Chain A
Amino acid sequence: MHIFKNLKIALIILILTSGAHIETKATEECFEGVSRSIFKFNMAFDDLILEPIANGYNKLPEPIKNGTSNFTSNIAVLLSIPNSLLQGNISQVGHSTGSFIVNSTVGILGIFNPAEKIGLKPYKEDVGQTLGAYGVGPGCYLVLPILGPSTARDSFGLVADTFIDPFAHVTIRENELFGISGNDLDYFSVKGTTAIDFRADNSKNFDSLEKNSIDLYSSLKSVYLQDRENKIRNSIEDQDEWGNLDN
């Protein structure tokens, strides 16, 4: 009951700090000074820990990298199923569920991705996206330690994810589901590996952005917010903002 009370308070704060429009473009900062300090810490963390690990990971043979990436992606699909359901997107529920079942069985615990070959798409949906789909705006922008860019809505979503994600249910909540259970270490190992896989995949993109930005903090903010808008819409929508420059 205590957890639900806290969630209720967090939800009220979220509604107060976010507009009810997903079209919000120039997302205001919650506390820019603090966020910039956390950003510096995150960059140092990346330089000292994440990037060297990602570089090492990139040197692994392709089959190992692909297998790891497939395995973590397959587990991440579990979070999409309840979220797609909450969004009323039955087609996505079917794709995600089918993808998880096929890859977990035929694909040997998700190491291989035969689902893709039969046209099943493993959609990635989270609570932040579900709230966005319901019209909850991003609220103010902030940077979280280690986790990076976020908004009021998405930070709330991160916490809420752990309540509806079946994988979190059997690991950090230590419940049993279909005879399977785990612990905190399983959960954080998978999340950590997902982060390393993402960082390794985007190594060149990060380097390029860092090299070509005058204010990297703002560039990453823009990239994050655009990405979230696209994920909420489930499409890459062309946004014509060129206005009177067309004349």
Chain B
Amino acid sequence: MKRIGVYLISLIFFFQSPLFSYSSNPKDFVNELVIEAITKLSDKNLNKLQKEAFVEEVALENVDINALGLYTLGELRKSASESDISDYQKSFEKYFLKSLTSRLTDYSESEFEVLGEDKKSSNYTIVNSKVTPTDGGPEIKIDWRIYTKNPDKPLIRDLIVEGLSLARTQKEEFASILSSNNNDIKILISKLQEFVNK
């Protein structure tokens, strides 16, 4: 009972701590967010569920999952029905959170450094960074596409890893699934659900 009590108290403390307020400057925003993510994900005192909860909270607050979902749907977002889009968005969010947790966990044993930023327009800033795995693996360049339409609340829209856009890769993967299935969005939704449930 005592252990359960300690666990519950630590959970409450974990969720109530002011984790998710980052700077509105894109460069600082990325730096603070990633440093905190690496610290949390490599913290041996946190269990898998706590780490997943952390990633989900941070992603829901700081990634433009709604826009990302629509972007990855491609042209179909213009012709699909509202209810299909809504179902798709729900499944996409779960899919995205699961794959993000998995990806971040894979790269949590790394050192992170923000190198600079490039303001592309009033809506976008690209933040350049590099990740150096502590296991001696090669250095990885990561650019962050930050949506800055609301300058007080920057949002992540894409990660460009060594020049490869994760959003574009996702979009082309979904496009292939759709084209093999007569552009049936329901099949794409079922594939997303399969991934979440596996």
- Can you report 18 residue pairs joining A to B where beta carbons are below 8 Å apart? A26-B172, A201-B137, A201-B138, A204-B133, A207-B106, A208-B106, A208-B107, A214-B173, A214-B192, A218-B175, A221-B176, A222-B173, A226-B165, A238-B160, A241-B71, A242-B71, A242-B157, A246-B147
A223 near B137: Cβ-Cβ < 8 Å = no
CB distance from A34 to the nearest CB of B (A): 15
Which residues of chain B come closer than 8 Å to A246, judged between CB atoms?
123, 147, 149
- Tell whether A219 pairs with B160 under 8 Å between CB atoms, given A201-B137, A208-B103: no
Q: Which residues 163-214 of A have a CB within 8 angstroms of B?
A: 201, 204, 207-208, 211-214
Which residues of chain A come closer than 8 Å to B67, judged between CB atoms?
242, 245
Task: Judge whether B18 is part of the interface by a CB distance below 8 angstroms.
Answer: no
Which residues of chain A come closer than 8 Å to B133, judged between CB atoms?
204
- Tell whether A211 pairs with B102 under 8 Å between CB atoms, given A223-B169, A236-B163, A241-B168: yes
Task: Judge whether B126 is part of the interface by a CB distance below 8 angstroms.
Answer: yes
Q: List 3 tightest A-B contacts by C-beta distance, closest first.
A: A218-B176, A236-B163, A222-B172
Interface size on B, residues (CB 8 A): 40
Task: Judge whether B5 is part of the interface by a CB distance below 8 angstroms.
Answer: no
Interface size on A, residues (CB 8 A): 28
What residues make up the interface of A, taking CB atoms closer than 8 Å to B?
A: 26, 62, 201, 204, 207-208, 211-215, 217-219, 221-223, 226-227, 230, 236, 238-242, 245-246
CB distance from B119 to the nearest CB of A (A): 11
Which residues of chain A come closer than 8 Å to B174, judged between CB atoms?
214
Q: Mark B151-181, 1 if CB is under 8 A from A, else 0.
A: 0000001001011110011001111110000
B173 partner, pick from A207, A213, A236, beta carbons under 8 A: A213
CB distance from A245 to the nearest CB of B (A): 5
- Tell whether A236 pairs with B160 under 8 Å between CB atoms, given A204-B106, A222-B169: yes
A235 — nearest CB in chain B belongs to which residue?
Answer: B163
